Amino acid sequence: RLAYLHDVAARPADPDRAPPGSVVGFADGFAVLVTTTESLAALNRDLPPPVPPLPMNRFRPNIVLTGAPAWAEDEWRLLAVGQARILIVKPCSRCVMTTIDQHSADIPHPQEPLRTLARTRRAKGGVMFGQNAVVVRPGRIAAGDPVTVLEQGPSNLLPA
């Protein structure tokens, strides 16, 4: 259980992307990372042999959704997840951490998945997988909760 979160552990979220006053703690820039199983499956289909399919934990999301077409999350803006409302802010640019096996710390294929993402998901700001998001209405969420896309728009992947 979390016993204490010191003020120095919290920091402001990007003010150009997140609602005013948004903060993160114990996160890599945004409080929430939304991914979909279908987008991971699409990425895995694009990986070159002999690279095996990658598990979702390579991307370290905290909300994983299923039941949408691959890359549909690029067009989502606001989600209802359980009792919470999640604002999609921007695509998540990926770094070398995605090349590391999260259980063994091995780097079996040092260029992947970054090389494949550079070919298929390059955008302004890097190579993208998942969507950074913030909670705009707190509420309980649980595995199996229905998810509703409340707002959507054109793809938020900006040309490289």
Q: What is the CATH number of the domain that holds 62?
A: 2.40.33.20
**pLDDT digits over 30-43, tens only?**
889 999 999 999 99
When divided into structural domains, the chain yields a total of 1
CA pair distance 160, 157, nearest whole angstrom: 9
Please say if the pLDDT value at position 128 is more than 70. yes
Residue 130, domain member (yes or no):
yes
Q: Give pTM, 2 decimals.
A: 0.85
Residue 45, domain member (yes or no):
yes
Residue 149, domain member (yes or no):
no
Nearby residues of 78 by Cβ (< 8 Å), 6 or more positions away:
85, 86, 87, 88, 136, 149, 150, 151
Residue 63, domain member (yes or no):
yes
Residue 88, domain member (yes or no):
yes
Residue 146, domain member (yes or no):
no
Please say if the pLDDT value at position 82 is more than 70. yes
Least confident of 17-21, 120-124, 142-146, 153-157: 17-21
Give the domain range for residue 76: 7-140
Q: Which residue has the higher pLDDT, 21 or 44?
A: 44
Mean pLDDT value of segment 67-84: 97
Mean pLDDT across the chain, nearest whole number? 90
What is the per-residue pLDDT for 31?
Answer: 87
The residue with tokens 């279908």 is: 38
- Where does the pLDDT of residue 3 fall: very low under 50, low under 70, confident under 90, or very high at 90 and above? very low
Residue 116, domain member (yes or no):
yes
Residue 79, domain member (yes or no):
yes
